[in-house]
Amino acid sequence: MSGKKVMQGNEACAFGALAAGVRFFAGYPITPSTEVAEVMAKELPKVGGKFIQMEDEIASMAAIVGASLTGKKVLTATSGPGFSLKQENLGYACLTEVPCVVVNVQRGGPSTGLPTSPAQADVMQARWGTHGDHPAIALSPATVKECYTLTVKAVNLAEKYMTPVIFLMDEVVGHLREPIDFDEVRNLEVVDRKKPDVSPEEYVSYAAGEDGIPVLAPFGTGYRYHVTGLTHDEKGFSTMAPQVVARMNQRLMDKIENHLDDIISYESENVEDADIVLVAYGSTARSAKEAMRWLNAAGHNVGLFRPITVWPFPEKEIVKIAGQVKALVVPEMNLGQLKLEVERAACGLAKVVGVNKADGEPVTPEEIINAVKGVL
C-alpha cells in the first residue's frame, strides 16, 4: 500500500497488524471493533495468513494462544463484554509467556452497556483484569495514523518481551476517518521473537537469559517442551516450591519493569513552562489538545501530557511534572480510573482534578476548559 488513504482507525489497526507480520486472527464480531475482523478476514488470505471466526471470545483468545505457540504473530479484537470473557486465557498467556495482541475498542458499560457509544472505562481492567501478579503492556492511540503505527509497536513489544499486549482503543478513534500517508510508515521497524540457539537436546524452554525473557521455540520445529497454566519451573513443569514460584513471578515482572525506557512512550507539549498540565489519552487527548490551544491563546500557561503507553504507567514523568505545576487536570470517559493513578504518582506535589464523563458522549474541549478555569 502506498500514497494517502482515508480509513477508519479500526481499519488502520488491521493493516498495521498485517505490516507487523500478523498472520493469524481469531475473533468474534462485536461492536465497535468488528471492522478489525472484517479487514483481517479479507486481507489475511492474500498474504498466506489464516482468519477464523470462533464461537465466542473465550475460544478466540485460546485460538490465538495456540497459534502463537506455533510461531505465528497473532491478533484478536473485541470490546468490553468480550474483553471480560478473554481474561482467563489472557492470564494463561501472561503466565506461559505467549506473545499476542488483544485489541479492545472500548464502549460504554458495565455489562452490555452502550454498544455504539465511546468510553475509556477498561483502563484498570487492562491492568488488573486477570488474577494474580503479572505485568501488563497497554497502548492507547489518539489518531488513525497511530492506530497503524502503534499496532506495529504492540506486535513488536509482544514478540520482543514474550507477553500479551493490549491495544486499548476507544470507539471514537476506532470509527474516526483520517488520511494516512503510507509512504511515511513504510519503513517501520518490525521485530521477530528470538529463536533457540541451542540444539533440541540442550533446550530449556523457560530458562531466561540476562534480559529475563525466555525463548519459546515454535511447536513443530523439533523442540519439545511443556506449557501449563500452573506455576512452573524452567522446564515448564508445574511446581509449588516456594523459591521457584517466587523466582518465576518476579522474573515475569522484571522482564517488563527492567525495560521501561524501551516500552514507555508519551507525548509532551508545552509542559516545561506550564502552570497546569492536562493528562489525557486516546480520543480525549484530542479534546485536551484543543482546550490547551484555546487556554494558551487566552493567556494561560497550559500544557499537555499524553500517555501513549498507559501500562506500564509513565510514573517518573508524572512525578517530574507534578513537582513544577499548580495542578494536573485529567479528562477521561469514565468516572476517574486513570485519575487515581495520576494522584498516586503525583505524591501530593500538585492538585489532581478529574473531568469525568460516563454517559456515552465524548469529553468536549469546553468541559476541560471549565475545569481548568476552576483551578486557575
- CB of 122 closer than 8 Å to CB of 110: no
Alpha carbon distance 260, 230 (integer Å): 27
Give residues with Cβ within 8 angstroms of 13, minimum separation 6: 36, 77, 103, 147, 148, 151, 167, 169, 174
Specify the pLDDT at position 160: 98
Side-chain half-sphere CA neighbours of 322 within 13 A: 22
Closest CA to 290 of 369, 353, 358: 369
* CATH number for the domain formed by residue range(s) 267-373: 3.40.50.920
- The DSSP 8-state label assigned to residue 235 in this structure reads T
Q: b or e along 317-356 (b: 16 or more beta carbons within 10 Å of the residue's beta carbon)?
A: bbeebbeebebbbbbbbbebbbbebbbebbeebbebbbbb
Q: Which of 170, 176, 196 is nearest to 331 (CA)?
A: 170
pLDDT of residue 59: 98
Distances (CA, A) of 356 to 154, 336, 365, 372: 28, 6, 13, 13
Closest CA to 214 of 154, 136, 156, 161: 161
Strand duo 138-139 + 164-170: pairing: parallel
Query: Are the beta carbons of 152 and 165 closer than 8 angstroms?
Result: no
CA separation for the pair 317, 305 (Å, rounded): 9
**Cell output for 304:** 499537555
Structural domain 4-181, CATH architecture: 3-Layer(aba) Sandwich (3.40)
Structural contact between residues 102 and 60, judged by C-beta atoms closer than 8 angstroms: no
The pTM score is 0.97
Angle at 142 between CA 114 and CA 362, to 5 degrees: 35
**Structural domain spans, the chain:** 4-181, 267-373
How confident is the model over 47-66, as pLDDT tens digits? 999 999 999 999 999 999 99
- The model's pLDDT over 201-220, given as tens digits with 9 standing for 90+, comes to 999 999 998 999 999 999 99
| Residue 259 pLDDT | 97
Tell me the one-letter amino acid at 334: N
Give the per-residue pLDDT at 319: 97
CA angle 153, 133, 159 (to 5 degrees): 25
**4-181 shares its CATH topology with 267-373:** yes
Q: Give 216-257 pLDDT, tens digit per residue.
A: 999 999 999 999 999 999 999 999 999 999 999 999 999 999
Cβ atoms 107, 135 nearer than 8 A: no
User: Can you give the pLDDT at residue 2?
Assistant: 82
The string of pLDDT tens digits covering residues 334-349 is 999 999 999 999 999 9
pLDDT digits (tens, 9 = 90+) for 251-279: 999 999 999 999 999 999 999 999 999 99
Count of CB atoms within 10 A of residue 206's CB?
A: 21
Residues 202 and 220: their CA atoms lie apart, in Å, by: 17
